[in-house]
Structure formats: structure tokens, C-alpha cells
Amino acid sequence: MKSIKTILSIFTICGVFVLNAQNKNERSTLILGTTAHIGNGDVIKNSAIGIKGTTINLVMSAQDYRLDTNAYDTVIRMYGQHSYPGFISPNNVLGLVEIDAARATRDNNEVGSITPQVRSLVAYNTDSKIIPTVRSNGVLIVQSTPQGGRISGTSSIFSLNGWNWEDAVLKIDDAIHINWPSVYSSKWENGDIIYFENKNYLTEVKELKTFFLNAKAYSKSDFNLEKNLRFEAMREVFKGNKKVFIHADKAKELSEAIYFIREQEIKKPVLVGAYDALLVADLLVDYNIPVVLRRVHELPLRKDDAVDQPYRLPALLKEAGVLFCLQNDGRMQAMGTRNLPFYAGTAAAYGLDKEEALSSITLNAAKILGIEKQVGSIEIGKLATLFVSKGDALDMKTNNVTIAFVNGQTIDLSSHQRELYEKYMKKYGLEVN
């Protein structure tokens, strides 16, 4: 009898937990009074943004007579502040690398040259201490990407909140990543960069083409006596369900990568880095190939380029009709991701419209990654992944995130950097902002 009572008690407790979880998921929140930067170019002053469960169910002016504040469990009034869709960081090792100088914390580079079967999905670390510092500046989504070799592996896209990768994943195995052979190699000599021709360039391109031809032949059969993991990872590429990100910078590399895309009939290509994208802009537009631009805050690759060339490139590509988004590649990549919004701010200062600059790290990034139906803008039906800042989120002097949501849940904005800031401000009797 006691056993039966114990079992009934357990079921009752479990039922209460399930009911509470369901109620929590269905709770609704209304954010009033912010200037809403939608992400698609539209701006709504004095906005009303409604969240129910995990999605956005209302976007309108707070002065609209149809607005019913009583329909929401919680109403948050944030007049004078700015709301934005969560910023998206493509091509990033966030979650795969903790400390660049400590080999044991780097899980972004697998042994081997051609490893499309390597997946960032199961290596992604939701407990990374870098993630909170990134979220505090409004970056809420990342494409966690393997690096190294000719074909680095397969990336996945994550929301920056969750107990484990199963909770955080937004899109599984979204793309494979190819590092296109370099036409020129470089080295430092007497304090200067010396370029010299890569004599193995044609051989390396041929090896890549041969792999694609073999993988395509393999994928035409649904049954193979001997399973090849590398070729299996390519099946969805040829079906058009998985994107191919080709990393290249120079004009010759870009143009030959584009012809490779056409030759191999790659249905969803993206070029990454693309320093010389402006020189092949016509090809990019003709073949409808988007670009993930290299880091904006950097020096030009060539001595004779204008020093502000990287800053002006986004505006020039926009004028040429190329779809692009921004990223944070290069050294200190993971921890530097917090600067992503400021890259967009620099692009705006050098010719790009302010809302177009915002789109380069929100809706345009979502389109290029293939997740625009879920995130990238503050629109009804999309996931409620957004944040509110006291000032302009693209300006490092005014970016101050006060509240953020990932899939409708408010997230903790504290970080070890914030803790240190508050600690020493209080030590010297200064006001904490």
C-alpha cells in the first residue's frame, strides 16, 4: 500500500513539474516604448512587442488603439530605449575554442585535409565562459564552424542559451566549409610581408575537384556496399539541403571558386572572406552568390589599397547589389565576437545606411545562413530572440543591453567581465552604469 502511495506521489510531483513547464512556456510578455529596429530596414518608434511562449506574436505602435496590454502576463515599460533582433555571428569558433593559447581547449581543427564528416554540433560547449561576454553586447546566435585543412568539416547554428547543444541548436549541419587553395603564399621578412606564388595551386584545385566528382558519384546511389563517411557527409550538399561555404580572398581565387560552384552544380554556395569581392561583383550578382565579409576592423591586405578600404567595402558591395553579412574572423575570434555590432557601426560611418548596417548582422546574416524564417528580424511568427539597449547598439559608447530574450526566455546578462567592472567601480567609489 505504501508503495502505491509513493508511486502516486511521484506521478503527482512529475505532473506538477510538467504543468509548470507548460505554463512557463506559454507565459506572455509585452515590451512597451522602445524604438524598434526591425532588422529589415523598418523602424517603429514607441513600439509594442509581444512575446508568447517562444515566438513574437505582436509588433506594432504602442499608440495603436487596438493594443490590449491586459492580454499579457508581464508588461515591461522601457521608454527611450532601443530594441533589436539578436545579432548573428557566422563562421565562428565560439563554443569550440576557449583559450587560443591552450591546445587542450581548442576543438575547432581536426586531423586531416578533407574532413567534411567532422561536425561542430557535438563539440559545441554551452558552458564556455566567453558566451556570456558575447551575449552582453547583443550577439545571441552563432554559426559554430570547424577550421583547418582543405574541407574543414560541417558547421551548425546555435542560440547562445541552453544547458547543452541539444537545447541550443537552431540548425543542425547547415554547411560544409572549404578553404580554397591560395594563389599566393606569404611570409614576414625584415618587418614586411613578402608574397610568392603557390606552385602547387593547380594540383590542390584538382584534388578538390576530384573529391567532389567522387562524392557526387557516391551520392547517386542510396546503397553502397562500403560506407564512406566523407562521402556520406556530402549527400545533402548535392541534394541542395546543405550549404557550401568557400573561404577565399583574392580576385583569382574568388572567380575560380565561382566557376567551380557552377561546374559542380552547387545549389547553395556562399563565399567567405572575399576581400576582393568588389572586383568580381558582377559574377556574384549574376550567379546570386552571397558573401560573408572578412573582419571590418583590420588593415588592408595590400600596400596600395586605401587604409579605409575594409571600412568602405560593405557600402560598396551594397551599391553593387551583392548580398553580404559581417563576421569576426581572425585572431582572438571567439572572444572578439562581442565587437560584431561595432563592425556594423563602422560600416555605417563609412557609407552604409544605419538600418542596412544593422541588417548585415541580423536579417542578411539569417538569409545567408538559411534561418531567416526563424530569426533575423522582429516580426510576428519568428522566434523571440531579441534584446533591448539603453542606446544605439552599434555604437560602443552607447551599447548597453538591459534585457535579452532567446526563444522567448529572458537570459542572464552577467559575465565575469561585468563582475570585475562592478567590483573595481565600487572599490573606487564610482557609479556603476
β-pairing verdict for 243-248 and 192-197: unpaired
Q: Can you read off the three cell numbers belonging to residue 255?
A: 572567380
In this model, does residue 38 exceed pLDDT 80? Answer: yes
Round to whole Å and give the CA distance between 183 and 185: 7
pLDDT value for 36: 97
Across 287-308, average pLDDT: 93
In this model, does residue 19 exceed pLDDT 60? Answer: no
pLDDT value for 372: 97
* Confidence bin at 195 (pLDDT 50/70/90): confident
Amino acid at 74: T
Across 409-431, average pLDDT: 90
Q: What is the 3-state secondary structure (H, E, C) of 156-204?
A: EEEECCCCCHHHHEEEEEEEEEEECCCCEEEEEECCEEEEEECCCHHHH
Q: How far is CA 323 from CA 124, 204, 285, 361, in A?
A: 28, 29, 8, 12
pLDDT value for 418: 85
pLDDT tens per residue, range 101-114: 777 788 888 888 99
**Which of 96, 171, 88 is CA-nearest to residue 127?**
96
Fold classification of 84-417 is TIM Barrel (3.20.20)
In this model, does residue 159 exceed pLDDT 90? Answer: yes
Across 21-25, average pLDDT: 47
Domain boundaries, the chain: 84-417
In this model, does residue 8 exceed pLDDT 60? Answer: no
pLDDT value for 16: 41
The percent of residues in the chain predicted with pLDDT above 90, rounded, is: 77
Per the prediction, the chain carries an average pLDDT of 91
Place of cell 539541403: 241
* Confidence bin at 224 (pLDDT 50/70/90): confident
Q: Is 33 left (phi over 0), alpha (psi -120 to 50) or beta?
A: left
pLDDT value for 415: 87
Spatial contact of 91 and 292, defined as CB atoms under 8 Å apart: yes
In this model, does residue 5 exceed pLDDT 60? Answer: no
Q: How far is CA 386 from CA 37, 51, 283, 343, in A?
A: 10, 10, 35, 19
The answer to whether the Cα torsion of 316, 317, 321, 323 is positive or negative is negative
State the alpha helices, DSSP H only, in 49-192.
130-135, 165-168
pLDDT tens per residue, range 356-369: 999 999 999 999 99
pLDDT value for 404: 97
Instruction: Write out the H or E segment, with its range, that includes residue 349.
Output: helix 340-349
β-pairing verdict for 55-61 and 291-293: unpaired
Spatial contact of 363 and 386, defined as CB atoms under 8 Å apart: no
Q: Say whether 396 sits in a helix, a strand or coil.
A: coil
In the chain, DSSP finds a helix count (H) and a strand count (E) of 14, 20
* Confidence bin at 25 (pLDDT 50/70/90): low
Strand partners, 155: 175
Q: Can you read off the three cell numbers belonging to residue 408?
A: 522567448
**Which of 178, 185, 187, 188 is CA-nearest to residue 200?**
185
Of the given ranges (214-223, 272-281, 389-398), which has the lowest mean pLDDT? 214-223
pLDDT value for 4: 52
**Which of 83, 92, 93, 143 is CA-nearest to residue 370?**
143
pLDDT value for 7: 46
pLDDT tens per residue, range 239-281: 999 999 999 999 999 999 999 999 999 999 999 999 999 999 9
Of the given ranges (108-112, 212-216, 358-362, 395-399), which has the lowest mean pLDDT? 108-112
